Amino acid sequence: MNMADSRQQLVPPTQMRVKAGFVVYAPDSEERCIVILNDGELEAREKDSPHKTVFTMHPGDLVGVASLLEREPFKYQLVASRDSDVTIINEECMESELKRLPLWLLATIRSFGSRTRDLKQASQKSHIENELLSLAEFLSHKPSKEYLPLQDLLLEYTFLSRLRAVEIIQAFKGLARRHFIEIKAIEGKECCRIPDTRLLETYVDFQAARSKEIPFPPYTLSKIQRKLVEVLARKSGSSPREGANWVKFFSENVPEATLSDWLILKKIGCFRDCGDGNFAIHINSLAKTYLALLFETNIKGVI
């Protein structure tokens, strides 16, 4: 046989008829291959948890393309859940097929494989630019004043953010340093406590305003207006009042206060309109404004 004939010699795929329970492919196998299910059913299982089914293959399904063409490991064990017919395309078979392809088509396949690999890498890469801000937003949806297992939070946030563990740990330390969260060991377990999720929300709002290069309302307030916010924050159980009565209340507590101070605090959301000219303190908005002033240094990142 001459060299030209040997280059054209085909190595056919392997056809297999297997019984239920047969392991078609194992992750520790040195052979890379494509597995095509012709008939029956295959289950992909975790190597370390052989009874846990990750997904099920039905007739016409195939796996292992990236494993064979891109040499990326296929990490699941394939087991026949019932009697099945499968086709195995190994490296030798694939090479014999590729040798028969025109050069232009082979180049196209390789180019497609390269683009697919790049897209996969891009999908696995985190697009988060500000780890501290992202973590603050994540934790703002957790319950306040509860000690939550730090390991659970790390695992959940790692899955959502795709950030590296070292980056996430630094972000947790950054929030703790600003006193937005508390990290404490309880019964030998590291736990995270969020004193007030509204503080995290305020930090997120501040960063959003800064990224848009617009003023953050609490930090535009004058000294008098800041005093008024503190007075309101310490006042509990206030019933709705007319605007004129709020102005009177302001002047009684901060003599320098004027009508314009009342209008500004109303504008930034410290009050809600109850109708008929009456206004009540907007508890959540006022609390966030007060927290913004109380933790101004921490929020601005000076510490």
- Is the Cβ–Cβ distance between 56 and 44 less than 8 Å? yes
| Of 152, 74, 164, 70, nearest in space to 111 by CA | 70
Give residue 123's pLDDT band: very low, low, confident or very high (50, 70, 90).
very low
Does 236 lie in the same domain as 192?
Answer: no
Which residue did the predictor score with more confidence, 8 or 256? 256
Give residue 2's pLDDT band: very low, low, confident or very high (50, 70, 90).
very low
Does 226 lie in the same domain as 180?
Answer: no
| 234 found inside a domain | yes
DSSP state of 303: -
Task: Write down the mean pLDDT value for the chain.
Answer: 84
Q: Cα(286)–Cα(236) distance, rounded to whole angstroms?
A: 12
DSSP state of 13: P
Cα-trace Rg, the chain: 32
Range of the domain at 112: 3-123
Give residue 127's pLDDT band: very low, low, confident or very high (50, 70, 90).
low
Of 107-116, 140-149, 154-163, 190-199, the one with minimum mean pLDDT is 107-116
Does 109 lie in the same domain as 49?
Answer: yes
Q: What is residue 238's predicted lDDT score, i.e. its pLDDT?
A: 75
Strands 182-186 and 147-149: unpaired
- Is the Cβ–Cβ distance between 62 and 36 less than 8 Å? yes
| 301 found inside a domain | no
Does 114 lie in the same domain as 31?
Answer: yes
**Percent of the chain predicted with pLDDT > 90:** 53
- Is the Cβ–Cβ distance between 201 and 144 less than 8 Å? no
Give residue 80's pLDDT band: very low, low, confident or very high (50, 70, 90).
very high
Q: What is residue 230's predicted lDDT score, i.e. its pLDDT?
A: 94
Burial class for 180, CB neighbours closer than 10 Å (0-12, 13-18, 19+) = buried
Whether the pLDDT of residue 86 is over 70: the answer is: yes
Helix 150-161 to helix 131-139 angle (10° resolution) is 120
Does 19 lie in the same domain as 103?
Answer: yes
Whether the pLDDT of residue 119 is over 80: the answer is: no
Q: What is the pTM of this model?
A: 0.58
Tokens representing residue 3 in the block: 């060299």
Report helix, strand or coil for 287.
helix
Does 162 lie in the same domain as 112?
Answer: no
**128-167 CB burial, b ≥16 within 10 A, e <16:** eeebbbbbbbbbbebeeeebeebeebbeebeeebebeeeb
* 50-78 mean pLDDT: 78
Q: Cα(255)–Cα(238) distance, rounded to whole angstroms?
A: 20
Count of structural domains within the chain:
3
Q: What is residue 162's predicted lDDT score, i.e. its pLDDT?
A: 80
- The CB density around residue 200, as the number of other CB atoms within 10 Å, is 25
Give residue 63's pLDDT band: very low, low, confident or very high (50, 70, 90).
confident
- Is the Cβ–Cβ distance between 291 and 202 less than 8 Å? yes
Whether the pLDDT of residue 174 is over 50: the answer is: yes
Q: What is residue 216's predicted lDDT score, i.e. its pLDDT?
A: 96
Which of 83, 104, 123 is a domain's end point? Answer: 123
Q: What is residue 103's predicted lDDT score, i.e. its pLDDT?
A: 64
Phi, psi (deg, nearest 5) at residue 41: -155, 135
Does 290 lie in the same domain as 233?
Answer: yes
| 303 found inside a domain | no
DSSP state of 143: P
CA 64 to chain centre: 28
* 282-299 mean pLDDT: 94
